[in-house]
Structure 1
């Protein structure tokens, strides 16, 4: 696997240098369109609806349309926006793992420790595993800041990007307002079917039959010679973050948290004395 970027996990004063890898890939057979008469590749042209001319990429701007009005965003406009280039996976909170609804999860990434980070990496992995906690983190991927979870997958730390709260649609269906009565006998029969089909999930026992048969079809046509000879016819990686002594970093993180809590208590006490 090829790393997407190198950065670090930051929690408290502990810094864990890591590499980020995409954890998934598609197995779909890639198809494109051709002319049925001669097998020529069908290409799509970027044509302007106003003048009808084919437009080069260099002359294309982005735009936003709302209520019949279009706002054109030039390259200069977009360049003025702050670009997120942080290489830090910032831990902002540790939450019970059961509080993370799977509907929020998107793409998954593996994290590999680099340099001398194995001990700190292992420590974080064990803490998450033994406390049944998931870390909520901020991470920048392809210049876009994302909210994500940092969790344990087997013996590997994994980051999974999440949808923002306003991206989750509410399931509001009038048909569900009715509460039909379910007879006990029907419920028992349904449970019996569940019992018959129950077992441990083994993902390697399942396959995408359509893609398997599609690939077999392609290979059979190649073997039969039913193919067109189209060939004849037609930045520097970021430097690893400095790793502090692990015990020292943990101790300083705890002391800083205690100092903050003590200061808050003292300030609230002073305010109560003045008001009295």
Structure 2
């Protein structure tokens, strides 16, 4: 991994040199805009809206338009002069219990690695946070923008989560909140029973991204000129029933799917969704994508990239929406 930021955690008189690494990565497919006729990539020119001239990247600055229409132009030197104390420091503001922070505030996650001469204070902070069951509320500047964040201990490393500012959280302005909706005690008891029957311990490895897996199949089939996989039709919604009847049927279905075991009742439906494509996937995933050039509609531009795209799609296939299919 490549460090994207280097600085220090600062709290009290203690300073811990750290490097920041992205803790997550996206595995979604990347698509390009291309010419339908020959597959050529679409290019855009940077053109000034006032004089119509093409502008070199070195001549591009950032601008903020005022309410009166005037444009304030800012160069890199202007950003460098901002009086920000967290440019190279993670400033600890306070320590709070984790449950006090609404997950709605969280944005992205980053790993913090200590510099070679800062391992001991790093481990000290990590263990102190674990024993106190607290996390640190901090400020940090990333990409020229100061942001609120938290630092917490996750197993053997410290993790930084960037956060939204309070004024960036929207209030839910929904009409139903102004009314007085009541539910019957029997309905509430049945809903609690359904939750109990579907309860389980969260294991992220049990879930799979069905969309990504299906997209990999589609790309591979298009590259090889093979028959495209059929879309699984959703099951009909069925008759409209009252809330209590729906809850009762849901509880019965959850109990039946558990079969007396610990597995959560709602999992069988997700598994079934994946099993509908199990046959085509078992053969499609095993095919080589090296023959992408033989596709019926492959164009000259596509011949250069088709095999690579299909290869990436295939190598990127992982457990992918629903629960994993049973072995």
* TM-score, normalised by the number of residues in structure 1: 0.75
Deviation at 1:116, TM superposition (A): 3.5
**4+ residue segments displaced more than 6 Å:** 231-234
Q: Which residue of 1 aligns with 2:159?
A: 158
Q: Which residue of 2 aligns with 1:168?
A: 169
Q: Which has the higher contact order (CA 8 A, sep 6+)?
A: 1
Question: Which digits, 9 at most, give the CA deviation of each residue in 1:44-77, with x for residues without a partner?
Answer: 3334444444443344443333546242314278
- Structure 2 unaligned runs (5+)? 224-288, 306-327
Contact 1:151–1:157, Cα closer than 8 Å, also in 2: yes
Contact 2:79–2:144, Cα closer than 8 Å, also in 1: no
Contact 1:63–1:70, Cα closer than 8 Å, also in 2: no
Cα distance 1:79–1:233, how it changes in 2: closer, same or farther (>3 A)? same
Q: Which residue of 2 aligns with 1:124?
A: 125
Cα distance 1:53–1:38, how it changes in 2: closer, same or farther (>3 A)? same
Q: CA RMSD in A?
A: 2.6
Q: Which residue of 1 aligns with 2:183?
A: 182
Contact 1:83–1:143, Cα closer than 8 Å, also in 2: no
Contact 1:48–1:55, Cα closer than 8 Å, also in 2: yes
- Structure 1 unaligned runs (5+)? 235-276
Matched, 1:109 2:110: yes
Q: Which residue of 2 aligns with 1:45?
A: 45
Q: Which residue of 1 aligns with 2:64?
A: 64
Work out the CA distance in 1 between the residues paired with 2:70 and 2:213: 45
Q: Which residue of 1 aligns with 2:247?
A: none
Q: Which residue of 2 aligns with 1:36?
A: 36
Cα distance 1:89–1:101, how it changes in 2: closer, same or farther (>3 A)? same
Cα distance 1:63–1:124, how it changes in 2: closer, same or farther (>3 A)? same
Q: Which residue of 2 aligns with 1:199?
A: 200
Work out the CA distance in 1 between the residues paired with 2:76 and 2:8: 31
Q: How many pairs align?
A: 234
Contact 2:38–2:301, Cα closer than 8 Å, also in 1: no
Cα distance 1:78–1:69, how it changes in 2: closer, same or farther (>3 A)? same
Question: Which digits, 9 at most, give the CA deviation of each residue in 1:205-225, with x for residues without a partner?
Answer: 112211222123223414443
Contact 2:38–2:299, Cα closer than 8 Å, also in 1: no
* TM-score, normalised by the number of residues in structure 2: 0.64
Deviation at 1:142, TM superposition (A): 2.3
**Structure 2 matches for 1:213-228, cutoff 5 A?**
213-220=214-221, 221=223, 222=289, 223-225=291-293, 226=295, 227-228=298-299
